[in-house]
Structure 1
């Protein structure tokens, strides 16, 4: 427990630092958008490419990890979709608010996950987390768009746009390039490796500072059924499902810890942008992101303690 906390506390403190930096006005408005774009399009892709290109895929159960995560995602998605009518009838949660609950339960913040995996398991943790992203990112993006298309009131993107968003996603592109480099057997020139290493050292702190800056405590209202469900379904049930399926697939050790981390971290901050674009309840989505991130200071250590 103490080892887990010692790995998580620095991440939590850097998130808090991001919140304080944003509230003191040291970085403001569009400046934050520039920092976020830098992390998203340059720094994190450098981490992923470098990590995957040098990873020994035979050292961890790649397919079993992917199967565990996908089984967890599909199970929870099915449960939510089957329960949607009952949720509306019992708690009065309309379709647009349901989409925020759906995103809040299934989507994950890869920046926080990468930082925690690095602290918990080092380079091996980063490599395994990057592999988890290969399985999760396309599925979760498509599932979220389809649910918003069906239940929200905004404009649904075309199939071509969905495909374009996936094959231009910088995380997917950098992971794909890293896999190609890895299987080619080519050695990365030390000059390139050292340069990417500098990028990589900058990525994790800048990424989680941006997470803290995006928290909006002033937007929180009195919790109701929708906010409660959207906040706690993910940290309570997703790690449990992941643990069950990981056990069935024979995933143990550091690989199990990475599966639990990927299932326990808060939902992705870009869930808000998608909700706003497609007519979901963007305010509820922002509240879910904020409360999940705050709750993660307790729920992630508990998940790792209970399931690893």
Structure 2
């Protein structure tokens, strides 16, 4: 456990922590971090995910395990929304995004590099499957529903259609399905650019989150607990009862135990929804997941 923490998880987490420190000390401004994040989102993340989807073997996907994971997302999301709305009395849209924090994991930029450091190529199929699912379906679902509820439905489909990560997934899937052989220089360029996606995005995220207080409150602890304990436990139970592939189960549980993705925070900023709870949830789940991920791995 200690070796996994120090050699596989902390090196990835260090970029987020470094960004937080540089933001708190004023070495990198909020505007600079947003620019870096935008470049990573428009250029580096698509370059990372395109060759991943283009080369993966879809026929080897365990769709039963994927369906179980998706069902757990739906159950955990509903429970988290009710907890935030009814128990903690948060506003509707804030509760919606807090529930998103519970089920939308920082998979591509955090779990993916960690899992490859720990498991090597064995992590390729399960983690790629979750990246594809969350990017193509969960991501689009939350963009559209939040836009509609915030009264901005006229631009929702345009934002989804123009999303560079979704475009990279679509192009990668087409290349994969038609068995198109890509030029090696193109793949080399994509891998070269994609290698910077995770560190730059995590660094920028740390700077952006550094503007928020860390003091935990009952609602922060409650949502973080559902994310780091409730959701992984639910996924483990569903995959165990569903007799999922033994090679997939630990990786999907590991994914479920990862920190909240920053997309809920980004959507809250876009629509003017308060972030004083959402941002600390992202921060605390990132910190506390060091323990849960080390233990599960």
TM-score after normalising by structure 2: 0.85
Residue 235 of structure 1: how far off its partner (Å): 0.6
2:160 alignment partner, one of 166, 172, 176: 166
Offset at 1:277?
3.7
1:265 partner SS: coil
Compute the displacement of 1:86 (Å).
4.3
Q: 1:166/1:192 Cα in 2 relative to 1: closer, same or farther (>3 Å)?
A: same
The Cα offsets for residues 143-198 of structure 1, whole Å up to 9 and x where unpaired, read as 57647866xxxx3221x533333232222211121111112112211111111121
Contact 1:103 1:144 in 2 (8 A): no
Distance 1:23 1:126 in 2: 36
Query: What is residue 68 of structure 2 aligned with on the other side?
Result: 68
Closer, same or farther: CA 257–42 of 1 in aligned 2, 3 Å: farther
Query: 1:251 is paired with a residue of what secondary structure?
Result: coil
Most deviating of 9-18 and 179-188: 9-18
Task: Please tell me whether the aligned partners of residues 19 and 213 of structure 1 are also in contact (alpha carbons under 8 angstroms).
Answer: yes
User: What CA deviation, in whole Å up to 9, does each residue of 1:123-156 have, x standing for no partner?
Assistant: 5534532321332242355257647866xxxx32
Secondary structure in 1 aligned to 2:277? helix
CA distance in structure 2 between the partners assigned to 1:209 and 1:21 by the alignment: 9
The total of aligned residue pairs comes to 294
User: In structure 1, what is the equivalent of residue 174 of structure 2?
Assistant: 180
Query: Equivalent of 1:134, from 127, 132, 135?
Result: 132
For residues 251 and 94 of structure 1, what CA distance do their matches in structure 2 show?
A: 37
Deviation of 1:239 after TM superposition, in Å, equals 0.8
Contact 1:67 1:249 in 2 (8 A): no
Q: 1:125 aligns with which of 120, 123, 126?
A: 123
Q: Would you say 1:102 and 2:95 are equivalent positions? A: no
Quick check: 2:259–2:285 contact (8 Å CA) kept in 1? Answer: yes
Question: Distance between the aligned counterparts of 1:181 and 1:34, measured in 2?
Answer: 31
- Could you tell me how far apart the structure 1 residues matched to 2:85 and 2:186 are? 54
Kindly tell me: are residues 282 and 264 of structure 1, through their superposed partners in 2, closer, same or farther at Cα, counting changes over 3 Å? same
Q: Which runs of 5+ in 2 are unaligned?
A: none
For residues 184 and 269 of structure 2, the distance between their equivalents in structure 1, rounded to whole angstroms, comes to 44
Contact between 1:142 and 1:162, CA under 8 Å: does it hold in 2? no
Provide closer, same or farther for how the CA distance between residues 92 and 74 of structure 1 changes in structure 2, counting only shifts above 3 A: closer
Runs of 5+ unmatched residues, structure 1: none
Please give the secondary structure, in 2, of the residue aligned with 1:291: helix
The CA deviation at 1:279 is 5.0
Aligned-pair distance for 1:292?
A: 1.5
